[in-house]
Amino acid sequence: MSYRFRALIVFVISLLLTGSAIGQGSVVIDFYFPSATANDAEGIFQGYADAFQEENPGISINPVFTGSYTDTRNTILTELQGGGAGPDVAVMLSIDLYSFAEEGYIVPAQTFIDGMEDGEAFVADFFPALMSNGMDADGNVWSIPFQRSTPILYYNADLLAEAGYDSPPTNNAELVEIAQALTTEDRDGLLVPVAGGFPIWMYQSFAIAYGQNIVSEDPTQVFFNTPEAVAAVEFVRSLGTDLGVGPAGGAAWGDTPTAFLAGQAAMIYHTTGNLTRILRDADFEVGVWYLPSGPAGEDGTGYGAPTGGGNLYIFDDGSKSDAEMDAIWKWVTFLSSPEIQADWGATTGYIASNASAWETEPLASLAMEYPHYLVARDQLQHVGKEFSSYATITIQGIINGTLQSILTGEAEDAQAAMDAAQAQIDGILAEYR
């Protein structure tokens, strides 16, 4: 063995023995976050953490990147089930509430809100629609909205104008008419991203527009085989078959904005989270509007979309000291403050979740320059709760699988497939009723 080789081994071993060193006597908050944006989320959070630590000398924040939303959920559960400490605060999907509450891993934010001087004002500043997934059936707040989104209609205003349409469709009949007028051999009139692993979110828009959301306040109730739910999926399926304005089975999530930007789609349903990127990259005039209203009502009453995105959750198994809990709540209120929300929303394109953030810079001037952002915000008055119940992951899996088999034509009889799914869902939820 040569000398150099030995030296290398010694070097490697000595490096191996140097672990990571964090914290110097103060309260350390482990903050787990997923990355769901194209931005340098890590850099932004480090900036927030630095600003926070400046204000609060005794507290240090340790931001940890934990992958996608699914990875974040799995990482945290693996850690807690494996006897680890877990995070103090984490950004997870707003629909993860019941999974974590059921396991006793998280504590309600309500306790902290009750202890605030201006607790009611704090809650009232958030858009009510964004609070719906963070609250239980009794109205207790568990998690605080942080990076939220909702689907909206994007349209290529130039193409619409060419075909003689000065304004976007406001109901499904107009939607189909315009989409058909704009469909050519090289272009889809309308892309609805329901292909892939997660059709439930876009589908919910249609279910709500048809007059019946598939969830309610009560986490033991799911309405998946109602006439409205069936009609909604049949409408989505027909877009790719009878109406012929998009691909059969729906479009893929990631391809949809790209096709839109390339002029290969005249209109798309997509998340507000893409607004910043689409405005930046489009070489035509981009229009956005509420998702068209369904037959549930004349203009306005039939609008509908679910909320989406992530909330701030507080983890405690009862062992944390008051000082730690105080520090945790300070960090949560810091991240949900109008200043941070305005910055985070303007940087990433998420909908800033409190009303006052929209009067705060840099968001206020951005919204002035691009009224598109205000459309996304104002649609919030029409949106419904995102799907979440007890056994969320399992039931979501059943619904996604059923939607996929209906949309791809494997299950021709939508009603029968949805009845079967509803029976399985009720079987599971019976354990919670």
Partner 1 sequence: MNKTTGILPRLATALKIALAVAFLIPLVFTILVSFRPEAEPVTKGSIFFGSEITLVNYQRALVIAPWSLHYLNSFLFVAGVLLVQLVTVTCAAYAFARLRFFGRDLLLMIILLQLMIPSGVLLVQNFRTINMLGLFDTRIALMIPYWGSAFGVLLLRQTFREIPIELDEAARIDGANLLQVIRHVYVSNAIPAYLAFALVSVSSHWNEFLWPFIITRSEEIRPLTVGLNKLIKTTDQGAFYGQLMAGTLIVITPLVILFVLFQRHFVESFARSGIR
Partner 2 sequence: MSMNTPRRPLRSIAIPYLLVAPTLILVLMFNVLPAIRTVNDSLYKPARGLNSAGKPPQFVGVQNFQDLFDDSHYMGTRFTRSFRNTIIFALATVGIGVPLGLLLAILLNREQPLLGLWRFAVFYPSLLPLIGAASIWSFIFSDSIGLANAILKSVGHPGLNWLGDRNLVLASVVIVNIWKQAGYFMIFFLAGLQNIPRDLYEAAALDGADSLQQFAYLTLPLLRRTLLFVIVVSFIFAFQTVEQLQALGEGGPADSANLLLYLIFQNISERRNWGYVNAMTIILIGVVLTFTLSNFLLFERDEKDS
Residues forming the site for partner 1 (CB under 8 A): 9, 12, 15-16, 19-20, 22, 30, 34-38, 40-43, 64-65, 67-69, 71, 74-75, 78-79, 81-84, 149, 253-259, 261-262, 264, 271, 273-274, 277, 281, 308-309, 349
What's the closest the beta carbon of residue 299 comes to partner 1, in angstroms? 29
- Give which of 82, 111, 75 is closest to 96, Cα–Cα: 75
What's the closest the beta carbon of residue 105 comes to partner 2, in angstroms? 9
208 or 233, CB closer to partner 2?
Answer: 233
Residue 140 identity: N
Distance set, CA 5 to CA 9, 17, 146 (Å): 6, 19, 52
Give the integer Cα–Cα distance in Å for 288 and 256: 15
What's the closest the beta carbon of residue 125 comes to partner 2, in angstroms? 32
Give the integer Cα–Cα distance in Å for 67 and 84: 18
Q: What are phi and psi of 322, to 5 degrees?
A: -60, -40
DSSP 38-56: SS-HHHHHHHHHHHHHHH-
Residue 250 burial (10 A CB sphere; 0-12, 13-18, 19+): buried
What's the closest the beta carbon of residue 92 comes to partner 2, in angstroms? 11
Distance set, CA 58 to CA 8, 29, 50 (Å): 41, 11, 12
Say which entry of partner 1, partner 2, none residue 268 contacts (CB below 5 to 8 A, set by partner kind).
Answer: none
Q: Do the bridges between strand 151-156 and strand 265-271 make them parallel or antiparallel, or are there none, so unpaired?
A: antiparallel
110 or 274, CB closer to partner 1?
Answer: 274
At 170, list the tokens: 């406001």
DSSP 385: P
Say which entry of partner 1, partner 2, none residue 82 contacts (CB below 5 to 8 A, set by partner kind).
Answer: partner 1
What's the closest the beta carbon of residue 222 comes to partner 2, in angstroms? 13
Say which entry of partner 1, partner 2, none residue 271 contacts (CB below 5 to 8 A, set by partner kind).
Answer: partner 1
Sign of CA dihedral 419, 422, 428, 429: negative
219 or 310, CB closer to partner 1?
Answer: 310
Site for partner 2, rule CB under 8 A: 70, 73-74, 77-78, 81, 99, 102-104, 188, 195-197, 247-252, 254-255, 258-259, 262, 264-265, 391, 393-394, 397-398, 401-402, 404-405, 407-408, 410, 420, 424, 427-428, 431-432
What's the closest the beta carbon of residue 359 comes to partner 1, in angstroms? 25
Say which entry of partner 1, partner 2, none residue 408 contacts (CB below 5 to 8 A, set by partner kind).
Answer: partner 2
- Do 355 and 125 form a contact (C-beta atoms < 8 A)? yes
Say which entry of partner 1, partner 2, none residue 397 contacts (CB below 5 to 8 A, set by partner kind).
Answer: partner 2
191 or 383, CB closer to partner 2?
Answer: 191
- Do 311 and 144 form a contact (C-beta atoms < 8 A)? yes
196 or 297, CB closer to partner 2?
Answer: 196
Residue 420 burial (10 A CB sphere; 0-12, 13-18, 19+): middle
